[in-house]
Amino acid sequence: MAELKKKSAGKTEIPSSIFPEPKKSVYREWVDKKLKEHRLEEMLVAYADSVVAEITESFLRLKTVNKFHKMLTPSTIIDGVLLVDKDRKEELINIVGVLQNQYPTLNFMITGPWPPYNFIDINIK
């Protein structure tokens, strides 16, 4: 009886051949690469969303009209257009300076004044 228990105890171990190591293949490498690219893009979009939220919150007191476009090119993660009253120009410049200090890896550029037609969406049918 003791001998039978000993034999059955030895058989409860799972042989390593049941769960073989995953084989490297071109397809697996491709899927892994695409998954990493997807996760990186998700992180970048989440970062862009957080920056847009911060910018929008910063400009609330200026009562701006704004439009933001994300991920236009590989080097432009956010493109924003703000419509601000002329007499609030200095406040705008100060806020952009604060944002530039807060996000030193991003480049903020101010151009304008531009005509307000940038805020009209035309849909041709």
Encode pLDDT of 67-117 as tens digits. 787 777 777 777 888 888 888 888 888 988 998 998 888 888 888 777 777
In 3-state terms, what secondary structure has residue 20?
coil
Give the confidence band of 4 by pLDDT, cuts at 50, 70, 90: very low
User: φ and ψ at 122, to 5 degrees?
Assistant: -110, 125
Give the confidence band of 1 by pLDDT, cuts at 50, 70, 90: very low
For the chain, the C-alpha Rg in angstroms (whole number) is 28
Q: In this structure, is the dihedral angle defined by the CA atoms of residues 13, 16, 17 and 21, taken in order, positive or negative?
A: positive
Q: Distance from CA of residue 90 to its chain's centroid?
A: 30
* pTM more than 0.75: no
Kindly list the structural domains of the chain, giving each domain's residue range(s) and its CATH number in brackets, ordered by start.
27-110 (3.30.70)
> Among 119, 96, 94, which residue's Cα sits nearest to residue 109?
96
Interacting residues of 61 by C-beta distance below 8 A, sequence separation 6+ = 91
- pLDDT on residue 45: 82
> What secondary structure, in 3-state letters, does 91-120 show?
HHHHHHHHHHHHCCCCCCCCCCCCCHHHHC
